[in-house]
Amino acid sequence: MPEPIEQTNEATRLPAELQKAHDGFLRYMALERERSEHTLRAYGSDIGNLYAYAIPRGATTLAGLDLTLLRAWLMALQESGLARATLARRSATIRSFLTWAVREELIATNPAIRLKSPKREQRLPHILQNNQIERIFKPVPEPQGTPEGKAPEPTREQLALADRDKLILELLYATAIRVGELVSLDINDVDLDRRTLRVIGKGNKERTVPFGQPAMNAVDNWLRRARPALRTDDSGHALLLGRRGKRLDARQARQVVSDALAALGDTAARGPHSLRHSAATHLLDRGADLRAVQEILGHSSLATTQLYTHVSVERLKESYQRAHPRA
């Protein structure tokens, strides 16, 4: 049984060589590979987890991170019950980190090349059915009040937040963009005449994504009526705003989607990626070209987009089994 992994103690000073390598790698990934802040935090966390395991075991230099130690670290992670996707990501991070260290001549060879990590589980995402999509976008019923009297009128701020939440759902499903891409949008990224968004995706790659009439109506309503009710001097050019007028953060947007999906009561789908998965699958179900969907999603590899064709095939099989007399 491998030894447990200690919790990282941020107050503990790292050995100088390890700290310098950690900072140098993240700087390289930020400046030369243009990785997002979210990705950089994940890299830093993965390297920090390895350091927390290695240092108490005497590995205080990069050379000390040998194959034996890396295998023991990965085994300890596996025994701790981490998901295979997390194990795969952490081992991939360390391979990239040590590959960079070899290129920078900080170590002679990369022991992580021989590190085998578990394959990611190919789980098919939860997809919303058409009737569930329709219910998400149904207007919220007006409050009926109490026996004591009529319900209080919603405030201007409450109305604005309701319009914003509707826009979040509309844009995520209409465009299949990621939640990080959504909250990064500025007003001038929206072209209402052409009904398109200018989106900056992973690797700082730009793409243009179309959207339909319902989303256009939601954007127009937000810009004309709702956004001015939340706007402050801190709003800048951000398209979506929080309650205090600053740019909406991804956590708030995720909560809006999770609440809307939970309110359906008949789906295991949760979070913004469920809307992205659903939009991609529905496009392919209705005959959209795979490469066009790849462009909309911002996938660098067509193989990633092909996952959604598998979803469509599985849905077809389920329908066949339910409906065909001789299935």
Per the residue annotation, which of 126, 202, 207, 246 is the catalytic one? 202
Q: Are 163 and 221 in contact (CB under 8 A)?
A: yes
- Cross-sheet strand order for the sheet of 190-191: 190-191, 196-200, 206-210
Candidate list 35, 276, 277, 282, residue with the active-site label: 276
Residue of 178, 227, 277, 282 with catalytic role: 178
Region of residue 34 (phi > 0: left; psi between -120 and 50: alpha; otherwise: beta) = left
HSE at residue 162, side-chain half, CA atoms within 13 A, is 12
Is 22 assigned a catalytic role?
Answer: no
Return d(Cα 277, Cα 285) in angstroms, integer: 12
Indicate the DSSP class of residue 298: T
Whether residue 308 lies in the annotated active site: yes
Residue 273 designated active-site: yes
Q: Is 150 helix (H, G, I), strand (E, B) or coil?
A: coil
How many angstroms separate the Cα of 152 from the Cα of each of 142, 146, 159?
Answer: 11, 10, 13
The residues that bridge with 209 in the sheet, in sequence order, are 197
Comparing CA positions, the residue from 156, 152, 48 lying closest to residue 93 is 48
Could you give the angle at the alpha carbon of 35 between the alpha carbons of 296 and 168, nearest 5°?
A: 45
Active site annotation includes 237: no
Catalytic residue positions, numbered: 178, 202, 273, 276, 299, 308
